[in-house]
């Protein structure tokens, strides 16, 4: 239980990589508030109950909270909710994100802005909201979920790539700004991870993706969650401003 008595917020935590992160933190003793704009079960309380049953750790608090990462007010309310119900905040995982893919010539202004609002501005809003409790206790761990495409680019994803490249840049800037307050800021850049989105790909599309992955397999959400666990723990206290690429060797 390397995260015993720690308190965390995970945005976009009800499905996919976010859900795996919530479970990994909880399994290691961390109390968690996880957000989403809509929950698969329709209820944040029901979703929390389901995840808690999967984790099988009755000694932790696990709470869902409905929030839109694109709204600054929702970020503030989430932090207030975590402080009130968990008793503080040590860890913030900025995971919420969406895609609105399309060729540049056909991409609408709305689709570009919506991806930036959630994927990039959401990181700004939540990080800013989390600073008050973290700075007052002179301790905090901020982990931003970026993407390998934020490093190498990807056709048809100008909005998504711009958002994730921005997350990487913000990570480095914030790491320098907050180091004096003993707050570390790091990013994880996943490669091809098996999620609901990749499950919809044809076998031909999957093989095309795997052809550029030396390990010849997709990653699992748990592969990302384990790195989040490390960056949330005291084992990473002397690491800040870094981007951990978890991609099976695709980007070298």
Question: Would you name the residues annotated as active-site residues?
Answer: 160
| Rounded-to-integer distance, Cα 207 and Cα 213, Å | 10
Which is nearest to 229 in space by CA: 21, 68, 72, 70?
Answer: 21
CA-based nearest residue to 105, from 162, 156, 164: 156
Residues 6+ apart with CB under 8 A from 149: 157, 160, 161, 164
**Please, is 220 exposed, middle or buried when counting C-beta atoms within 10 Å of its C-beta (0-12, 13-18, 19+)?**
middle
Nearest to 158 by CA among 204, 206, 107: 107
């Amino acid at each position: 239980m390397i995260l015993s008595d720690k308190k965390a917020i995970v945005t976009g935590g009800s499905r996919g990589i976010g859900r795996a992160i919530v479970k990994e933190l909880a399994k290691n003793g961390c109390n968690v508030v996880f957000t989403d704009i809509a929950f698969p079960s329709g209820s944040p309380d029901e979703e929390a109950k389901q995840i808690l049953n999967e984790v099988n750790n009755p000694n932790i608090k696990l709470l869902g909270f409905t929030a839109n990462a694109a709204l600054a007010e929702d970020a503030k309310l989430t932090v207030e909710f975590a402080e009130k119900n968990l008793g503080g905040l040590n860890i913030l995982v900025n995971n919420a994100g969406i895609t609105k893919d399309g060729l540049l010539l056909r991409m609408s202004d709305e689709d570009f802005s919506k991806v930036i609002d959630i994927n990039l501005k959401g990181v700004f809003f939540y990080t800013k909201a989390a600073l008050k409790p973290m700075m007052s206790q002179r301790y905090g761990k901020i982990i931003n979920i970026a993407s390998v495409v934020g490093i190498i680019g990807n056709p048809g994803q100008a909005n998504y790539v711009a958002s994730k490249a921005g997350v990487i840049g913000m990570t480095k800037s914030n790491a320098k700004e907050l180091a004096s307050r003993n707050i570390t800021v790091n990013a994880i850049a996943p490669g091809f991870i098996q999620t609901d989105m990749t499950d919809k790909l044809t076998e031909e599309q999957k093989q095309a993706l795997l052809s550029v992955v030396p390990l010849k397999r997709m990653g699992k959400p748990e592969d990302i969650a384990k790195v989040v666990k490390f960056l949330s723990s005291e084992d990473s206290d002397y690491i800040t401003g870094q981007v951990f690429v978890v991609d099976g060797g695709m980007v070298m």
